[in-house]
Every structure is written in C-alpha cells, then in structure tokens.
Copies of this chain bind each other. A is one copy, B any other.
Amino acid sequence: MQFTSETSSNGVVERSFTLDEITGVLWSPTSGTVGAPLLLSGHSGGMHKKAPGLVAGALHSVTTDGYTVAAIDAPGHGDRPRNLQDQQWVEAIRQARTAGEPIAPIVVDYSRSVAVRAVPEWRATLDALQALPEIGVDAPVGYGGVSLGVVTGLMLAAVEPRIAAVSFGGVFVDDALIEAAGRLTVPVEYRIPWDDEEYDRASGIALFSAFGSKEKSLHAYSGRHYPVPEYERDSSARFFTRHLGRAAVDSD
C-alpha cells in the first residue's frame, strides 16, 4: 500500500493510496486513531471512492466517532480503467434509461460481475490496512455500502469473518442476492428509499426478510436514494458505534 497524497482539513486527514491496481482513500481523525474502529465503504455503481454521499458519511464517522474510513474504486470505476465488457454494460444501462426500459436486469448482472472482482480487492485492502501501525489487527471492522456496494458487501461478509457489522442502502434485488442475504450472520441495518421508482419496494422488503442475521433493522424513508437524509446517515453511524464501539478520541 502506497500513499500518494495527503491533505488535512476540519480535523480529518485524507490520504489517497494505491495497492497494486487498486486506488483508494483513507480518512482518519487528525487527533489520532488509537482504538478506532475501521469502516469500509462501498460506493454505488457508476460512482467512485469519493462519491458525495460516501464522503459525507465518512466525514461524519471520523469527526463524530473517531473512526477510520476506507473506500476503494470498484473495478472499472473512478480512477480505474473500464474493460470492454463493463463498457458494454454501462452503455446498455444508458440505452435502457433513455428508452424508458427497466435497468434492473442489466444492473444486477453488471453489479455481480464487478462485485466478484471487488471482493478479493477489499480483502487485500483490509490486509494492508491492518498492517498499518495506526490501524492494526485489533480494530473492529464494519462495512457500509449502497447499491453495487451492497452486492459487494454481502459477498465480502460471506467470506470475511473480520466484518462484524454491515449497513446497507438501496439495491437491485435478484434471487442470488436473496440467497446471499440468507447467509449473513452479523448485525445489519438496511435502508430503502421508499419513493425511488427505480427500487422495487417489495423486493427490498424481501431482501430484509431474507437476512439471516439475528439483529436486523429496516429503515424505509420518504425520498429517493440520494441524498440520504441526514438523520439516516446519523442513524447508520450510531448503528456502527453500537456494534463496533467508538474511538478513544482525545478531544482536548
């Protein structure tokens, strides 16, 4: 893991990094990270590691709870080249939107393909993050994601016992995702944007029903998938502090 830039403002250090082909960013409190939980944040399809909603959530967790937050570009997103098949999916989604046709079937296939590639990248990133002296192997780890980030997170949580809690936003649901949800065992909070016509409410409820976790919460809110209401962002941060704790921030 190589850090390529570092800036600091409003109590938050932002460091860009690369790890082989992966491009990522790490946010942490300037006041230090002793005992800080680590949050992995997965962006939605078509977005990138500094998607506005992702950054807003990350800064909230860093400044309010002293968390360290990491985000990486999914394959073919952000600073990473897009291969031919991904380009074709993106073009197919664009054409479906233009034609007023449902995009869900295409998004589901595309997300799954990207997520399969992203899971080993997240695991390698987590290894590298835990090797940093300021994080270490004892930091509790959570994962938060939206859309593509949910597909990735469910596949990641299934193979990665270091993930102790997950917080998800809206996602296109298919049978494979329902099946993956059934294997989830860690606490989960799941949000549905109730007035977003692109997300089918019934399949969102079905996904929530399918989560195998003993503790699960569904939050449906009036509005669309972006922006997430501030009170929901706040709720997500509180969910993580319930399950991962809070950093011993020296606020003096």
Cα(A213)–Cα(B208), bound, Å: 24
Enumerate chain B residues within 8 angstroms of A217, measured Cβ to Cβ: 219-222
| A207 smallest CB distance to B (angstroms) | 12
Contact, CB under 8 Å: A215 / B205: no
> Within residues 41 to 65 of chain A, which ones have a CB less than 8 A from any CB in chain B?
none
A-B contact pairs, 5 of them (CB 8 A): A194-B216, A205-B205, A208-B220, A218-B218, A235-B235
A226 at the binding interface (Cβ < 8 Å)? no
A194-B208, A218-B219 are known contacts; what are 9 more A-B pairs with Cβ within 8 Å? A194-B216, A194-B218, A201-B205, A205-B205, A213-B222, A217-B219, A218-B221, A219-B219, A235-B235
- Docked complex: A164-182 residues within 8 A CB-CB of B: none
Interface bits A185-209 vs B (CB < 8 Å: 1, else 0): 0000000001000000100010011
A239: chain B residues at CB < 8 Å are: 231
| Distance in Å: Cβ of A59 to nearest Cβ of chain B | 20
Closest to A220 in B: B218
In the bound assembly, the distance between CA atoms of A220 and B207 in angstroms comes to 13
Cβ–Cβ contact B242 & A231, under 8 A? yes
Q: Report the Cα distance A218→B222, complex, angstroms.
A: 9
- Kindly state the separation between the CA atoms of A216 and B242 in the bound complex, as whole angstroms: 24
Q: How far is the CB of A248 from chain B (nearest CB, A)?
A: 22
CB distance from A108 to the nearest CB of B (A): 23
Closest to A218 in B: B220
Q: Which residues on B sit within 8 Å (CB–CB) of A209?
A: 201
The interface residues of chain B lying within 8 Å CB-to-CB of A222 are 213-217
- The smallest beta-carbon distance between A146 and chain B, in angstroms, is 18
* A162 in contact (CB, < 8 A): no
Q: Does A238 touch B at the CB level, under 8 Å? A: yes
Residue interface mask A107-151, B partner, CB < 8 A = 1 = 000000000000000000000000000000000000000000000
A174 vs B239: C-alpha distance when bound (angstroms): 33
List chain B residues, Cβ under 8 A from A235: 235
